[in-house]
Amino acid sequence: MEAISLFKEFQRGYSDRTPRLTKIIDVFLLYVLLTGVLEFVYCAIVGTFPFNSFLAGFISTVGTFVLGVCLRLQVSPANHFKNISKERAFFDFIFANVVLHLTVFNFLG
């Protein structure tokens, strides 16, 4: 009973106090996390025959998750990055993702 009320309190506080942009980033992070878990489970069940492909995909999801968390920290209202605008943080996220995925595509070979 205590856990249910605690969860409802958390959900109410999250929906009331969290800005819409942060919620969108959180949904994206959840998607990337689930994609990484699905890749890992698939690898555990089926095998790692094209190991470079599995490794590239898994590195891509982990890297995208880390960059997404960095974006979330930068656009959060309670951040410590007061001199970085939301647009600059988003550009940094996009640029870092392009570099990450160019590296991942190179590793697929």
DSSP letter for each residue of the chain? -HHHHHHHHHHHHHHHHS-HHHHHHHHHHHHHHHHHHHHHHHHHHH--SSHHHHHHHHHHHHHHHHHHHHHHHHHSTT-S-TTS-HHHHHHHHHHHHHHHHHHHHHHH-
DSSP 34-56: HHHHHHHHHHHHH--SSHHHHHH
Place of tokens 């205590």: 2
What pLDDT score does 54 carry?
Answer: 85
pLDDT at 44 over 80: yes
Q: Given pLDDT bands bounded at 50, 70 and 90, which one contains residue 95?
A: very high
User: What size, in residues, is the chain?
Assistant: 109
Express each pLDDT in 16-35 by its tens digit: 888 899 999 999 999 999 99
What pLDDT score does 102 carry?
Answer: 93
Express each pLDDT in 63-75 by its tens digit: 999 999 999 999 8
Which amino acid, one-letter code, is at 89?
A: A
In 10 A of CB 80, how many CB atoms?
8
pLDDT at 109 over 70: no
What pLDDT score does 47 carry?
Answer: 80
Using an 8 Å Cβ cutoff, are 20 and 61 in contact? no
* pTM given for the model: 0.86
